Structure 1
Amino acid sequence: MSELLTPPATHSRRPSAFESVATFCLIAALLFFGAGIFVPLVLAILLAFALNPVVSMLNRRLGLPDPVAVILAVLLAMTLLAGFALLAGSQIAHLAQELPGYRQTIQGKIEGLQSQFSGLTWLDQFNGMISNIDAGFGGSSDAPAVTGQMKPIPVSISNELGPLSIVTSVMGSIVGPVATIAIVTVFLIFLLMGRADLQDRFIRLVSAGRYSLTNLAITDASRRVGRYLIIQLCVNITYGVIFGIGLWLIGVPSAPLWGMMIVLFRYIPFVGALIVAVLPFALAFAVDPGWNMLLMSVGLFLIIDLTTANVIEPRLYGTSTGVSPLAILLSAMFWATLWGPVGLILATPMTVCLVVIGRHLPQFQFLETLLGSEPVLSPAERLYQRMLKGDTEDAIDLSDDYLEENGRAALIADVMLPALRLGTTELSDRPESLPQRRQLITSFETVIADVFEHEFADNASVLIVGGRTEIDEAAARLIGLELAERTIPATILPPGAIRQESIGRLDLDPVETLVLVFMGRDVRAQCRYVARRIRRMSPNVRLIAIVTNALAADETAESLHVDNVYRDFHSAVDGISEVATPKSIEPWEEVPQPFAGLGRGDDALGQELDAIAERFGVPAALINLIDDDRHLDDGDAAKLTQLVVTDNAPLIVHAATPDERIGDNSYLVTNGIDFYAAVPLTVANGTTPLGALVLLDYEPHEGFTEDDLARLRQEATKLVENFA
């Protein structure tokens, strides 16, 4: 009936390869042709991520209304950008005035290189190009410029270029950037002012009812992108300051300009800093007649860049972006192709957003798999993949690393057994899967032998057998390894040992516990057959089945005809450890338990204790054993017995004169005991305490003398002789 009431599951059709490619091409074309709209919008969103903490701070700290805080934050950002542009422009203008003076130095270096490396035509071409620098700045390429004697430049006047054309040309060159800045500013203001409403609309649009996941994705993306931008800004500024100061100390012209430019260009992944660094290198080549300035500039750049990229940024960024380096490189190429230089700057933040969306929204999970930095395979899947292709060296390294970090039990339960379970699921019993199964087991045995270095016992009391396949036998070895860690030896046999033709030859004389391990789902028929045969051959053997496959979760001890069923590694090992008997003790031998089960009723020991109490004139005489669970349940009573056993000496307690060793013992106070006298019960010539013989009285008992204590010792000795 429940199946009839359950609505049928709807399965969405996966898009074909052609549909996926067509969708990607359509989106790429839309981004390319809509760059005029999307670029300002994405820039505004990126700046909104960066300025959102500033707006929140102005709201909380200064109590400013939200519109005022937004306007102040935007004005602050625009002021900083304008100051940066103004300073960079002044440095560029100063550099342009000084460039013609470097022609002579460059030509001298080129001529020196020509004399050393004659025959290189590209040096001649480069020298000819340098000779035209002066002409480009108003000089002559034929004669050196003389101060105050510049040749007049011929000027021709044409009516074709009027004032309107000049204004139109100038306006056309500046309208585009100014319009982009204006659009970005307007978008930014509206995004910051309506950020709460926009977030609600975005959640409503993409959540599909999963509000918690979508809200988590937005929060995570905001945190990661904001943290990335702040850290990168700090790193870039520090990088630029150190680089600019270094160039200034070396003597490279316009050092502040190159420091500022490298702050901006480092937002371009991988190559941004190098693009800017080439320019001061060229200046160092042009300014210094020697090579020291160039070599020091290159050395400065290499030291700063390698230290930042390989030491500082990995520690600061950590997992803040969650994007792999390869994904950043591919993303930079993709967005640069679509949107040019701006796409390079926006590549990393946009890729971070895509990875976060893929992490939290299941329908976009492929994005995290393709672009994320987190391992896409679990340790168990990685180990399984290595063993399946026979890469035992890598499998051993992976196992050793996990063993060192998490321990032996975690390696077996969380990595090795799940890897075998993958083999059971993927590799069927059909002949075509046999080579892969053989490769898996061969690699697995090599890993076990190298990582654990353990040899299993023969004729042990615990026998562990793989239920059906060689993968079950491998799992049995893992169970045996953990039992060996608990000093319980085990014998491991393959599934062939319990097949119909060979099960009758099993030597069950030393076996007390037989464990069948099944990793697959076909359990019942084989387990029942083995159980029936073992019951006939040795009825006293305890049968345990370990069934780890979820498809066999309904199997019980009754359905499998065994004594116990365990479904995971830890419970199986614990259960076997509880029932397994140490090898040195035969099953028919009973471990002596002195006084076990005696003295609690009208038996002989109970009657003797009553007689002892009567001879000493007290209401009760007791035996308290240190391994009696009923006695240990009362913690304060057990403390008294433990004190007697530890000191192997009598303990006399009077309520009127408390003993500082026991303090206010709740067992004595709660039960109203005013007198407590105990002597050790010992065996093995008086050297092994078992517990204490105790006298209790609810009234003061001041007349307990040394003679009485000696009599009590004699009574304890007689009890041990007669009842222990």
Structure 2
Amino acid sequence: MPEPARPPRRALAAGAAGPTLPLLQGAILLVAVLYFARELLIPLALAVLLAFVLAPLVRALRRIAVPRIAAVLLVVLATGALFIGLGTVVGSQATSLAENLPSYQTTISQKLAGLGGWFERLQGLVAEVSRQAAPHGPAAAPAGRPIPVELHSPDPTPFDMLRSVAEPLLGPLATAGIVVILLIFILLYREDLRDRLIRLAGAGDLHRTMAAMDDAAWRLSRFFLAQTAMNAGFGVVIGLALWGIGIPNPLLWGVVAAVMRFVPFIGTFVAVAGPLLLALAVDPGWGMLIAVAILFGVGEATMGQVFEPLVFGHSTGLSPIAVIAAASFWTWLWGPVGLLLAVPLTVCLVVLGRHVDRLEFLEVMLGDAPPLDPEETFYQRALAGDADALAEQAERCLREDKLAGYLDAVALPALVLAQEDVARGALAPERRAALTRSLGLLAEDLAEAEEDEERAPPPLPPGWEAPGTVLCLPGRGPFDAEAAMLLALLLTRRGFGVRLGGEVAEGVRPRLVCLCLMEGGGSAAAARYLLRRARRRLPGVPCLVLAWSAAGPGVLDAALRAESGAPPLLAHRLTELLERAAELAGPAPAEGEAEAPAAAEGPPGMAPAPA
């Protein structure tokens, strides 16, 4: 089943989540209900999550013409038989382990004695410290001879023995029975329950409700099926490897390793504790202990760094911090069962936040999507004056895209955000100065970055690399100068000899003028005036105008195209302007071909006045 489309990100405006006090009261009430009704909610949650795992099996049986009731009963009975079989094997293995424990004591004692009595000395030191810390020293011997007292309980009756055995089993058996019954009814009436949930969630907006339910079902089903299969395979590999190493009861530890991988963070440490202790008890040396430690270390690293990212990707939609917080919260709320259910229950909360406006804060806090878009992150780092963070972001982006694409997608949209703040009067002068300094430092870092030889563009014809060959002029918008600086950086990296500003280099007549304007920054009249002045000061020199706009042609484009005389060469993105500039320069001559004559140089000093 293809992954559901992700809904567009909504702006999280102030007060969009509603009043804070009612929301806090609702959260406290919800936590109280989850805690006091856990005896009912835990079986229900287990049944629902098992239904996500078993529903594909029921659908597979239905596709081969098995009746619904028969398919559900077959799947539930097979699952129950699997759990009973595993329980029987684990019980027999645990009994065998308990019978052999006394024989392991000798090996452990010998191995500890081989450490030179370190543990005995530590124990004596602790006893001495405890004795010295006693407030009144050693207790005085009693004056009289103590009278021994013995307490005898009556022999248990058969009913008492039956009750002592049955009482610890009644709770888990009752919970298991409730889970089985709920599971059968959920699988039988899955479509009916889905329709009722749609009715409760809002039949008036079927599209959003269905999108939310499909998103939750897809993520949970994918997560549980993949995790169950991978953990089972991990348990099989660990069991076989422990058998090869020589650890007793390898089947028991393989099952424990598979189950403990459902527990985030601490499951692996719990699973490895038993094999390590047995390796310490069975092997007179240390080789088996080291082999077990290496086995679990390599196995966990392989699962966590190779197979899980390959299979899961971002299917759960949770951030690592959210997993830690969820594990702590649900363990406090529901105990060990809550630890097992922490991830799937938190996935449901993230899905709710993704599709319910008032609960969007849940997706922001718990989801794995970046809280800010790349251009918002760029703007925030630039305002803070964090040039190092800007350089790190640029390095990450340039691994996947070219410099022009990065500037078009991240840097210039960030300047648009700054323009909007200037228009609203919300950008303080010191913040604006910090932004300008950060962009200057970033431009220096990008100018020194090494070029990828595989993505290097073809060389330009001779003569275009002389400083001042391309004159880059900013417009009159609040951040046109910064945009022109980035444009000059891009042209320089392409091989052009660029001069930024209105002065012409001594002895060099510009071959190309690039006028840099940003949509929404300056007026259309100012843009037309700057174009006319550039043409008047440098007649005959082609003028290439960057009317940058992320949304395509805008007001500046229409105004410049309506300019009298020859319409200018227009580009709306840096990538487009770079291509047009390379076309104007022409291809580099082949080896042995005569170079084209340089353009006639005019008198120096013929430059437009500073914009």
Partner residue of 2:517?
A: 517
Partner residue of 1:324?
A: 319
User: 1:57 offset after TM fit, Å?
Assistant: 0.7
User: 1:473 offset after TM fit, Å?
Assistant: 0.8
Alignment of 1:102-181 (within 5 A): 102-113=104-115, 115-116=117-118, 119-121=121-123, 158=154, 162-181=157-176
Q: How has the CA–CA distance of structure 1 residues 531 and 259 changed in structure 2, closer, same or farther, with 3 Å as cutoff?
A: closer
Tell me the number of residue pairs that the alignment of Structure 1 and Structure 2 aligns: 536
Q: Alignment partner for residue 476 of structure 2, among 467, 471, 483? A: 467
Partner residue of 2:66?
A: 64
User: 1:314 offset after TM fit, Å?
Assistant: 2.4
Q: Are 2:284 and 1:280 equivalent residues in the alignment?
A: no
Alignment of 1:76-91 (within 5 A): 76-91=78-93
**What does the per-residue CA deviation read over 1:311-348, in whole Å, with 9 as the maximum and x for residues that have no partner?**
33222322222222222121111111111111111112
Partner residue of 2:261?
A: 266
Q: Is the 8 A contact 1:384 1:420 kept in 2?
A: yes
Q: How has the CA–CA distance of structure 1 residues 548 and 315 changed in structure 2, closer, same or farther, with 3 Å as cutoff?
A: closer
Partner residue of 1:606?
A: none
Partner residue of 1:183?
A: 178
Q: Are 2:305 and 1:304 equivalent residues in the alignment?
A: no
Paired residue type of 2:49: L
Q: Alignment partner for residue 377 of structure 2, among 374, 379, 382? A: 382
Paired residue type of 1:464: L
Identity %: 35
SS in 2 for 1:234: helix
TM-score by length of 1: 0.64
**What does the per-residue CA deviation read over 1:425-444, in whole Å, with 9 as the maximum and x for residues that have no partner?**
33569697222222222221
SS in 1 for 2:400: helix
CA distance in 2, matches of 1:302, 1:22: 45
Partner residue of 1:149?
A: none
Paired residue type of 2:432: R
Paired residue type of 1:33: F
Partner residue of 2:18?
A: 15
Partner residue of 2:431?
A: 436
Paired residue type of 1:120: L
CA distance in 2, matches of 1:513, 1:301: 65
Paired residue type of 1:97: E
Q: How has the CA–CA distance of structure 1 residues 199 and 123 changed in structure 2, closer, same or farther, with 3 Å as cutoff?
A: farther
Partner residue of 1:73?
A: 75
CA distance in 2, matches of 1:48, 1:297: 36
Q: Is the 8 A contact 1:332 1:343 kept in 2?
A: yes
Name the stretch that deviates more: 393-402 or 219-228: 393-402
Partner residue of 1:677?
A: none
Q: How has the CA–CA distance of structure 1 residues 198 and 468 changed in structure 2, closer, same or farther, with 3 Å as cutoff?
A: same
**What does the per-residue CA deviation read over 1:618-657, in whole Å, with 9 as the maximum and x for residues that have no partner?**
xxxxxxxxxxxxxxxxxxxxxxxxxxxxxxxxxxxxxxxx
CA distance in 1, matches of 2:568, 2:528: 13
**What does the per-residue CA deviation read over 1:92-133, in whole Å, with 9 as the maximum and x for residues that have no partner?**
1222222233333334444444624653127988xxxxxxxx
Paired residue type of 2:370: P
Q: Is the 8 A contact 1:524 1:559 kept in 2?
A: no
CA distance in 1, matches of 2:401, 2:282: 60
SS in 2 for 1:67: helix
Partner residue of 2:577?
A: 573
CA distance in 1, matches of 2:577, 2:220: 47
**What does the per-residue CA deviation read over 1:455-482, in whole Å, with 9 as the maximum and x for residues that have no partner?**
997766765223133x211112344556
SS in 1 for 2:547: strand
Name the stretch that deviates more: 309-318 or 521-530: 521-530
Structure number, greater radius of gyration? 1
Paired residue type of 1:517: L
Q: Are 2:341 and 1:346 equivalent residues in the alignment?
A: yes
Q: Are 2:94 and 1:92 equivalent residues in the alignment?
A: yes
User: 1:210 offset after TM fit, Å?
Assistant: 3.4
Alignment of 1:666-677 (within 5 A): none
Partner residue of 1:43?
A: 46
Paired residue type of 1:335: W
Q: Alignment partner for residue 234 of structure 2, among 220, 231, 239? A: 239
Q: Is the 8 A contact 1:544 1:564 kept in 2?
A: yes
CA distance in 2, matches of 1:456, 1:519: 30
User: 1:180 offset after TM fit, Å?
Assistant: 0.5
Q: Is the 8 A contact 1:427 1:437 kept in 2?
A: no
Alignment of 1:702-713 (within 5 A): none
CA distance in 2, matches of 1:438, 1:492: 20
Partner residue of 1:637?
A: none
Q: Is the 8 A contact 1:466 1:493 kept in 2?
A: no
Q: Is the 8 A contact 2:379 2:418 kept in 1?
A: yes
Alignment of 1:197-276 (within 5 A): 197-207=192-202, 209-276=204-271
User: 1:191 offset after TM fit, Å?
Assistant: 1.0
Alignment of 1:485-524 (within 5 A): 491-493=499-501, 515=515, 517-518=517-518, 520-521=520-521, 523=523
Q: Is the 8 A contact 2:48 2:183 kept in 1?
A: yes
Q: Is the 8 A contact 1:110 1:123 kept in 2?
A: no
Paired residue type of 1:390: G
CA distance in 1, matches of 2:285, 2:511: 89
Structure 1 unaligned segments of length 5 or more: list them: 1-10, 126-153, 498-508, 589-724
CA distance in 1, matches of 2:54, 2:202: 26
User: 1:305 offset after TM fit, Å?
Assistant: 2.3
TM-score by length of 2: 0.75
CA distance in 1, matches of 2:237, 2:534: 80
SS in 2 for 1:278: helix
Partner residue of 1:392?
A: 387
Q: How has the CA–CA distance of structure 1 residues 35 and 123 changed in structure 2, closer, same or farther, with 3 Å as cutoff?
A: farther
Name the stretch that deviates more: 417-426 or 39-48: 417-426
CA distance in 1, matches of 2:283, 2:518: 79
CA distance in 1, matches of 2:500, 2:69: 75
